[in-house]
Structure 1
């Protein structure tokens, strides 16, 4: 089994696409007005409108209600990303400024416009780098 993507359901696809284009530096693919995706080397972040849920099971995902999942992005330098993001002024809330975690990652935690948690992290120890080298 292989995890391929994570999809965020939103009431405003355009707003989230613009936010993630700015924070990741990636351009979204937009195969439909109600759907966008950011394809990276290890997986895809997909953004779908609430209307797309009718194709699955209505009400199965509720926009702007996540308080458990964290979208995580490996970055080269967390502190540099923090400086870049704060200068852009697009991040609605910084939850945790760059901090070195007990498991060896340097981490920056913030929220996207829908309130989803986003973590930019850089492994700082040999053990943390080894976990990513699977």
Structure 2
């Protein structure tokens, strides 16, 4: 089994796609107006309109109501990304800091309130832990 993607359900696909295009620096693929994928080498971030949830027969998902998942992206330089993203990120939860487990990280919320973490391993142990990962 291979991990394929994370999908965010939203009531405003266009707004969230535009935001993540800026964050990730890639253009979204839009096979339908209610669905988009932002593909980077290590993962795919999918964004679907709340109208799409019923297609899976999975009950309901409430857009902009996530309180348990953090979407994480490994970056080369957390401080540089923080400076680059400051102009359009509305809510920074944590400015760049080094975490006890050896990652430098910055945490913010996307326009729907989902938590997004940018991190880079910086200690010897953290760098070793991530060696060999994509």
Report the TM-score range of the alignment, normalised by the length of the smaller protein. over 0.9
Shift of residue 59, structure 1, vs aligned partner:
4.2
* Counterpart selection for 1:121 from 119, 123, 129: 119
Corresponding position of 1:66: 66
> SS at 2:116's partner residue?
strand
Corresponding position of 1:90: 88
> SS at 1:18's partner residue?
helix
Corresponding position of 1:3: 3
Corresponding position of 2:41: 41
Q: Does 1:111 align with 2:109?
A: yes
Distance in 2 between the 1:50 and 1:93 partners?
23
Distance in 1 between the 2:28 and 2:60 partners?
25
Distance in 2 between the 1:68 and 1:100 partners?
22
Q: Which runs of 5+ in 2 are unaligned?
A: none
Distance in 2 between the 1:23 and 1:54 partners?
29
TM-score by length of 1: 0.93
Question: Cα RMSD over matched residues?
Answer: 1.2
Q: Does 1:79 align with 2:79?
A: yes
Q: Contact conserved, 2:54 with 2:60, CA < 8 A, in 1? A: no
Shift of residue 2, structure 1, vs aligned partner:
1.8
Q: Contact conserved, 2:94 with 2:106, CA < 8 A, in 1? A: yes
Distance in 2 between the 1:131 and 1:5 partners?
22
Corresponding position of 2:54: 54
